[in-house]
Amino acid sequence: MKHEWKKSEKQFYLPKAKPERITIPEFKFFTIEGAGNPNHAFFADYIGILYALSYGVKMSPKKGIEPQGYFDYTVYPLEGIWDLTEDGRSSYDGKVNKDELVFKLMIRQPDFVSKDFALHILEHTKKKKPHDLFDKVTFETITEGECIQMLHVGSYDSEPESFQIMEEFAEQNQCKRLSKIHKEIYLSDARKVSPEKLKTVLRFSIAP
């Protein structure tokens, strides 16, 4: 049976449009780090690199390199961890200067993907579709732990409204946001969906 994250892992990817507390376990990812305004053309290249690798894993049996434990599945959604440069933090006045953004983009991989297999896919994809950004890709395991998350419906620029609701929820539940660093999980394709209908999971780490 095909593994579909929308059905079997709803708790991590399809929260309601109200805050909730959740513990995120250890997951495997292809990741790539960068900086700058995501509205600029370069950003699409970073996304394309991660999807090329992710579909390389999914389609590997058709290339004759099926890893042990392989099962069919739906490719996971794009995620991003966002922060600001030091200059961006010091000049922050309630509105983010997108040119000062720092990001780590990632796409989760199934549990059967080992480090060796991930490196094999990376080298194979790099040869097939040469790009300098492949040299910036890392395969890593990430444990987010205790978090607060909610579904944000609307433009990326209106996310602060949801973060305010989430921070109030944290305070009401005797916990505290650890930092302004946060994660976004993109459930909509911004190229095809109008800004007011975009669905994005927002998440930040908390301290009890």
Q: Check pLDDT > 80 for residue 93.
A: no
Q: Check pLDDT > 90 for residue 184.
A: yes
pTM over 0.85: yes
Burial of 10 (0-12, 13-18, 19+ CB in 10 A): exposed
> How much is the pLDDT for 94?
74
DSSP 197: G
Contacts of 126 (CB under 8 A, 6+ apart): 134
Mean pLDDT of the chain: 96
How do beta strands 137-153 and 176-177 pair? Answer: unpaired
Enumerate domains of the chain plus CATH numbers. Answer: 11-207 (3.20.80.10)
- 7 token code pair: 């059905």
pLDDT tens readout for residues 136-151 = 999 999 999 999 999 9
Q: Which H/E stretch holds residue 151?
A: strand 137-153
pLDDT tens readout for residues 19-38 = 999 999 999 999 999 999 99
d(CA 101, CA 99): 6
pLDDT tens readout for residues 67-91 = 999 999 999 999 999 999 998 888 8
Residue type, 62: K
What pLDDT band is residue 96 in, cutting at 50, 70 and 90? confident
In percent, how much of the chain has pLDDT > 90?
90
What pLDDT band is residue 177 in, cutting at 50, 70 and 90? very high
Rounded to an integer, the average pLDDT of 45-56 is 98
> How much is the pLDDT for 1?
86
